[in-house]
Amino acid sequence: MKGFAWTSAPDLAAALRAGSATVAATMAAAPGPAAANAVILKAGGIDLLDLMKEGLLAPQRIVNLRGIPELGRIAEEPGGALRIGAMVTLAQLAGDPLIRARYGALAQAAGGSASPQIRHVATLGGNLLQRPRCWYFRSIHHDCARKGGRQCFAFMGENQYHAIFGQYGCAIVHPSTAATALVAFDASVELVGARGARRTVALENFLLGPEVDLQRENALAPGEILTAVLLPAPKPGVRSFHLRQGELDSFDWPIADVAVVLELGRDGACRRAGVVLGAAAPVPYRARGAESALAGQRIAEGTARSAAIAALAGATPLAKNAYKVPVFEALVRRAILGAAGQA
């Protein structure tokens, strides 16, 4: 790791004054003065240290967000919506009684990520903003398209853990497991700009696929700080489930993960379904086919099975990751049944 200057921001205003650059823009500008002079925000620091140790990022200054109390709170808003501060850790998310009761899939997704040691430090904001885990992207030896190079090494190379949908010039899967669940719950993110202006964006729109921008995974603007994630108040009859499958059960990135949110009526029929696939595409992949297959149906083995097949329709696997298709089919079916309490 290269040296840097260090600032602990005591409050949000101080952090905003620091004039931070995004990691994506900084990496795209490297090598060059813009990259060397960059001021970068640090939350838990897990992804930041990883990038810096690999020699992929060497900011001039790091601004620590850890000392800003207002970013670390989970609070219920009037009307029942939930506001989760960006600095809330994955461990807190997994253990929070309210989240477990109302947004079970989110607690499951956060609790299944990484290792206990990482979850105790990694924050929700940092988790959503972490850079992709593609091994070519993480290697200084491969100047790939996402880093401003000319080619995607994954298309012709080792792509067993890459995307099966939406690989427009880049085949990453979005690294955040929590995002899978958050998109299924229609969460949004709250951002504060350098001049203090607040905006709220649906997470689904905040995360960007390569067809929109090949070099960044989200719409974070320079100087902006992600302050909170907002979850809408749960509708009556909502049940949710998150399932992940790694090659290993202990500490492994998922090869596939699925979040299902079902809004069940009194009659047991599904009014509305959210079905989102993680580790499937450059952004959390909303399986609209599955969602409409479930709408108006009673949940049973058969409906779940056809929804699972619909979810995978249109998949475009690469040479080494077609195995993900049957894995996802099984997971979608099981997660639907899990959400309906029939697993």
Partner 1 sequence: MVGAGIIMTDGITRRQFLKGTGAAMSGVAALEAGLGAVAGAAQAAAVDAAAGTSPVEIVLDVNGARRRVAVEPQATLAEVLRGPLNLTGTKIGCDRGACSACTVWIDRVPVASCMMLAIDVGDRPVVTIEGLARGEQLHPVQAAFIAHDAIQCGFCTPGLVMSCAALLETNPAPSLDDVKAATSGHLCRCGTYPHAFAAVLDAAKSAKG
Partner 2 sequence: MRAPGNVPGAYALEQMIDELAIRLAMDPLALRDRIDLSAVRREERRVGAARFGWSRRRAPGSDAGPVKRGLGMAQSYWGANVNTNAACEVRILRDGSVEILSSVQDIGTGIGTLLAQVVAEEMGLRPEEIVVRIGDTDFPAGPPSYGSITTASITPPARNAAWRALRELFEAAAPALGAPPENLIAKGGRIATADNARSLSFREAAATLRTDRISVVASRADDYGGFARKMGDSASARNALGGVQFAQVAVDVETGIVRVERVVAVQDCGRPMNPRQIESQVHGGVLMGMSYALCEERLLDRRTGHVLNADLEHYKIGRSREVPEIEMILLENYQGTSATDAYGIAEPANVATAPAIANAVFNAIGVRARQLPMTPATILAALGRIPGGRARA
Ligand X SMILES: Cc1cc2nc3c(=O)[nH]c(=O)nc-3n(C[C@H](O)[C@H](O)[C@H](O)COP(=O)(O)OP(=O)(O)OC[C@H]3O[C@@H](n4cnc5c(N)ncnc54)[C@H](O)[C@@H]3O)c2cc1C
Rule CB under 6 A: which residues touch ligand SF4? 132, 134, 136-137, 144-146, 152-154, 162, 170-172
Q: Which whole-number Å values give the CA distances from 325 to 103, 165, 318, in the listed order?
A: 27, 10, 11
CA dist 336 and 343 (Å) reads 8
Which DSSP letter does residue 72 get?
G
Q: Considering the complex, what minimum distance in angstroms separates the CB of residue 165 from partner 2?
A: 14
**CA 218 – CA 132 distance, rounded (Å):** 11
| Position among 4, 29, 142, 213 found at the interface with partner 1 (CB under 8 A) | 4
Residue 139: Cβ-neighbour burial (10 angstroms; 0-12, 13-18, 19+): middle
Examine residue 283 and tell whether it contacts ligand X (CB under 6 A): no
- Least distance between ligand X and beta carbon 89 (Å): 8
Q: 315 is written with which tokens? A: 């998949």
Which residues, in sequence order, are bridge partners of residue 201? 189
Burial class (CB in 10 A: 0-12, 13-18, 19+), 270: buried
Closest residue to ligand X: CB criterion: 126
Q: Which residues ranging from 306 to 325 are in contact with partner 2 (CB under 8 A)?
A: 320-323, 325
Of 238 and 255, the one with the shorter C-beta distance to ligand X is: 255
The residues in 217-256 that bind ligand X, with binding defined as CB under 6 A, are 225-226, 253
For partner 2, the closer of residues 76 and 252 by Cβ is 252
Residue 310 Cβ vs partner 2, minimum distance, rounded to whole Å: 15
Binding mask 143-182 for partner 2 (x = CB under 8 A): ----------x--xxx-x----------------------
Q: What does DSSP assign to residue 299?
A: P
User: 285, exposed or middle or buried, with CB in 10 Å at 0-12, 13-18, 19+?
Assistant: buried
Q: Which of 35, 86, 270, 315 binds ligand X (CB under 6 A)?
A: 86
Contacts with partner 1: how many residues (CB under 8 A)? Answer: 31
- Cis status, amide bond into 33, omega within 30 of 0: no
Q: Which does 64 bind (CB under 5 to 8 A by kind): partner 1, ligand X, ligand SF4, none?
A: partner 1
Minimal distance in Å, beta carbon 269 to ligand X?
33
Interaction of residue 105 with ligand X, rule CB under 6 A: no
User: Does residue number 76 form part of the binding site for partner 2 (CB under 8 A)?
Assistant: no
CA distance 111 to 40: 27
Q: Which helix (H) or strand (E) holds 94?
A: helix 90-95
Binding partner of 267, given partner 1, ligand SF4, partner 2, none, CB within 5-8 angstroms per partner class: none
For partner 1, give the closer residue by CB, 8 or 139: 8
Stretch that binds partner 2, among 78-86, 197-205, 243-251, 262-270 (CB under 8 A): 243-251
- Which letter does DSSP use for residue 34 in this model? H
Neighbour-count burial for 101-136, b at 16+ CB within 10 Å, e otherwise:
ebbbbbbbbbbbbbeeebbebbbbbbbbbbbbbbeb
The secondary element (H helix, E strand) that includes residue 12 is helix 12-17
Binding mask 166-205 for ligand X (x = CB under 6 A): ---------xxxx---------------------------
Give the interface with ligand X as residue ranges (CB under 6 A): 23, 40-48, 50, 65, 86, 113-114, 118, 122-123, 125-127, 129-130, 175-178, 225-226, 253
